[in-house]
A and B are shown apart, each in its own frame.
Chain A
Amino acid sequence: MASGIKDKVAILGMGCSKFGERWDAGPEDLMVEAYLEAMQDAGIEPTQLDAAWFSTHIDEVGVGKGGTPMSLALRLPNIAVTRVENFCAGGSEAFRGAVYAVASGAADIAIALGVEKLKDTGYGGLPTGQAGTLIPQTAPNGSAPGNFAQLASAYRAKHGVSKEDLKRAIAHVSVKSHANGAKNPKAHLQKAVTEEQVLNAPMIAEPLGLFDCCGVSDGAAAAIVTTPEIARAMGKKNLVTVKAMQLSVSNGWESQYNGWDGSYFHTARIAASKAYREAGIERPREQISMMEVHDCFSVTELVTMEDLHISAEGQGWKDVMNGFFDADGGIPCQIDGGLKCFGHPIGASGLRMLYEMYLQLQGRAGERQLANPVFGMTHNLGGSPSTNVCSVAIVGQEGA
């Protein structure tokens, strides 16, 4: 059994651009914005970077393929830059690459950066694309909300929840995130909304209305990691270390075998269990201080609470309604507004989640600051409910 990543790597610095409809900024500008903040936070020079991992998803409206866009934009000193792409979980993948490089001893200091420039398409929502040459010949001409809305139909059928009750529960998910996003100056959407507004919004993909869908945003985020020893030698205190870094990927069991009922994420359950084991967490509902989960759609967040073993199966919607995930609840969730309101520049989102956990653990989250967080968990998903990649990471106070 592998010894795991726990406490082998510390976060030296992080940065995150303002997210939103950044008509003023190209992807290179967004990268620079996140990079400069992270470098200043880390207190290092570019020559101290040993290696880089670069996450971006959509080539057509972004920066194109390869590691060169990051190296060119940031004028990196000819170091290795690995471009990673794993649907919407690419940001976490870039972080995993950097963390593993440091843990292996191959790099003393590594940087992970994710960026996405989505608002150069000319229309709302995510750009459409083809997945190879075979899948488009059979798969429905769907959309991200349509794919994730499938969860709602299956969840209702499995747990006997009425359409109205589920619609109200997922509305609460969004109301909570909007309330949190209103306190975040970097968030794309900074306005609180009422349950009534959410319930009466135009339908996007049944049963998901406009407010059940996350922001389609431009943005970038970055993390610089090193070993705890190097961080301490550089004078850093109150280190935030990586406790777990897990990724689980679908193999067709959900989409082609006969066992999955469509109401949950098989991969998330596996990744979460492995992450708790790696971090030494036995009672997540008591031990996890806060979470940033992949709330691309309200219903995704709701079922994820069960997949992360925080809510009992079939009870997630009740925990949501009872405010367990609100800012003043048992486990505050999406305290920065989440994908819903901070926004979802695809390749950057995993790193944006970690950015909030890092700020909270360092006591630097301003108006959003929670009292004494110990463990922060991020859940970063890519793909669709039946075929996806799911990353679960846990960071926390060194020694916790």
Chain B
Amino acid sequence: MVGIAAWGAYVPRLRLSRKAAASANSWVAPNLMGKAKGERAMANWDEDALTMAVEAGRDALGPGDDRSHIDGLWFASTTAPFADRLNAGIVSAALTLDRRAAAADVTGSQRCGLTALAQALNAVKAGAAKTGLVVAGDHRRARAASPQELDNGDGAAAFVVSNDNPVAELLGHGVHTADFVDHFRGADADFDYQWEERWIRDEGIVKLVPLAVKDALTEAGVEAGAVTHFCFPSVFGGMATTLAKRLGIPAEAVRDNLAGVMGESGCAHGPVMLAHALEEAKAGDVILVAQFGQGAEAFVFKVTEAIADARPARGVSGSLADRKEETNYLKFLFFNDLVEWDRGMRAEKDNKTALTTLYRNEDQILGLVGGKCRETGVVQYPRTRISVSPNNPTVDTQDPYPFAERKASVLTYSADFLTYSMSPPNHYGTIVFEGGGRIFMDITDVEQGDVDTGLPVKMVFRLKEVDEKRGFRRYFWKAAPDRSAQSSTAAIAAE
């Protein structure tokens, strides 16, 4: 039976203190002090909806997965970086998926994360795909001093969908489409335009969501009272509890919407809450997940025995545990391009990307794939026709060799205050990999004093540069401290 075989999540490490943000704006918007509690997840300057989705996808697949079995990819976001360039294509290249796998962007509504999940489940159920991967991420910008700035949070979740031994079987699905415009963002607009909260709540959520939920429960043949986890994201206080009461769902099944610890991650938030429920579920549990957006979409899943050993390395729980409080509201404004700041002349450097070069080196750049010599076993990055091996520079002997999931450590580094950076000082250095190979690359998610030689690091997929002149974004991999590594494992292979 079709269902979710694995899941993963990603919440950026930085958490903006709502008190810090609300206090900074209280002179102009004193009402915001009512929201000055908890924290919201805040993407680093080099993260966006797509990079977070890639990280969630990696978490769902796990480091040992060769990914060849994925034959369908759905990327859901309302803040995808490109309006006309397949964003899922970038995700696919970053995850080194088979090029024969279908790939689609799903967008246009806050419920599109669940829509993408529905499409994957339907494709697998229909036999059109064997194993589908759904990734959803959102990085929503809001005007300074708006309530959305405090309510939103950045994040992503991912699911592997399969008929093979799912951890959560699909029992039912319900959908209701209505052009109920609680908010919108025009194609050329930077920010959302919101309608009145009371109308959204009373005429929208309370009336429309139950329609989808009831259909899902009916298809599942499950009574509302049997639901053990009810996942419903909303920034309105007590909304899920209100719905549960109307639908007959037990009050104790209503799950924390994580507003206090990460905020609402847009179309990814239903998926994030579902992933979080899976992390705490046991076999036999019934999970109901729904999300509102021009109607609503709802699923009923039943957790299977396979849940026992299916937990991802990070998940939502791991993401929430790996946090760093940010009390500098100005940094949030800079990272979200909400202030015009003096970047200096060095920022004038033209970052035009040669698309020909990008495509020729797609797996090297987006997939972090190097080479391994089949004669000498020497591993190197990048892959080249003539091997770097000093004693045996063999020709045309290299097979593709992915680096992204390998353990690594810092060989050399510096914290550079001179070069232009969105988050100075810019850290970079030579990273050496267990099993061989090295890359001179940026180091991210660090502050001065965090880095030293021997520091264990992991690879993360990030924005490298933004070409504001042409609206292009360059992506590449960076090293970030592997805070889960117990000990310093210098990975300097012998010559």
Contact = CB atoms under 8 A, between A and B. Distances in A.
A258 B493 contact: yes
Interface string A250-261: 011101111101
Contact of B351 (A136, A202, A206, A208): A136
Contacts of B440: 139-140, 255, 386
A105 interface: no
A386 B225 CA distance: 65
A330 interface: no
Contacts, number: 155
Contacts of B365: 137-138
Contacts of B441: 138-140
Contacts of B432: 258
A136 B441 CA distance: 11
Contacts of B353: 133, 137
A136 B352 CA distance: 10
Contact of A145 (B351, B418, B448, B452): B418
A140 B442 contact: yes
Interface string A97-139: 0000000000000000000000001110100111001101111
A146 B390 CA distance: 28
Contact of B428 (A122, A128, A142, A251): A142
B357 A150 contact: no
Interface in B402-440: 410-421, 425-426, 428-430, 432, 436-440
Nearest to B432: A258
Contacts of B474: 137
B419 A137 contact: no
B411 A262 contact: yes
Contact of B465 (A129, A141, A157, A251): A141
Nearest to A158: B453
Contacts of B354: 133-134
A255 B438 contact: yes
B425 to A, nearest CB: 7
Contacts of B356: 133
A360 B442 CA distance: 44
B345 interface: yes
A157 B453 CA distance: 7
B378 interface: yes
B417 A203 contact: yes
Contact of A204 (B349, B417, B430): B417
Nearest to B390: A253
Contact of B418 (A136, A151, A205): A205
Contacts of A140: 426, 428, 440-442
Nearest to A134: B357
B435 to A, nearest CB: 10
Contact of B492 (A121, A125, A261): A261
A141 B442 contact: yes
A234 B420 CA distance: 54
Interface in B147-184: none
A314 B170 CA distance: 65
A141 B412 contact: no
A262 B345 contact: no
B454 interface: yes
Contacts of B437: 256, 258
Contact of B419 (A134, A146, A154): A146
Contacts of A123: 344-346
Name A's interface SS.
Answer: loop
B388 interface: yes
A5 interface: no
A258 B442 contact: no
Given A141-B419, A205-B414, A257-B378, A150 B495 contact: no
B349 A258 contact: no
Interface in B442-468: 442, 448, 452-454, 464-465
A248 B492 CA distance: 25
Contacts of A253: 388, 390
A140 B421 CA distance: 10
A137 B361 contact: yes
Contacts of B436: 258
B344 to A, nearest CB: 7
A136 B429 CA distance: 15
A71 interface: no
Interface string B341-370: 000111001110110111001001100000
A355 B412 CA distance: 35
A149 B357 CA distance: 30
Interface string A148-169: 0111111011000000000000
B381 interface: yes
Contacts of B44: none
B492 A150 contact: no
B414 A261 contact: no
Contacts of B413: 150, 153
A150 B476 contact: no
B494 interface: yes
B412 A153 contact: yes
Most chain A Cβ neighbours within 10 Å, of B425, B429, B452: B429
B389 A257 contact: yes
A82 interface: no
23 contacts: A133-B354, A134-B354, A137-B357, A137-B365, A137-B464, A140-B428, A141-B419, A141-B420, A142-B419, A143-B419, A146-B428, A147-B414, A149-B416, A150-B414, A152-B414, A153-B412, A154-B453, A204-B416, A255-B440, A257-B388, A257-B495, A258-B437, A262-B411
Given A138-B476, A204-B416, A206-B425, 13 more contacts: A123-B344, A129-B349, A137-B353, A140-B440, A141-B465, A142-B428, A146-B428, A156-B453, A205-B418, A206-B417, A257-B389, A258-B495, A262-B412
Nearest first, the 8 A-B pairs at minimum CB distance are A146-B416, A140-B428, A133-B354, A149-B414, A259-B495, A150-B412, A262-B412, A206-B415
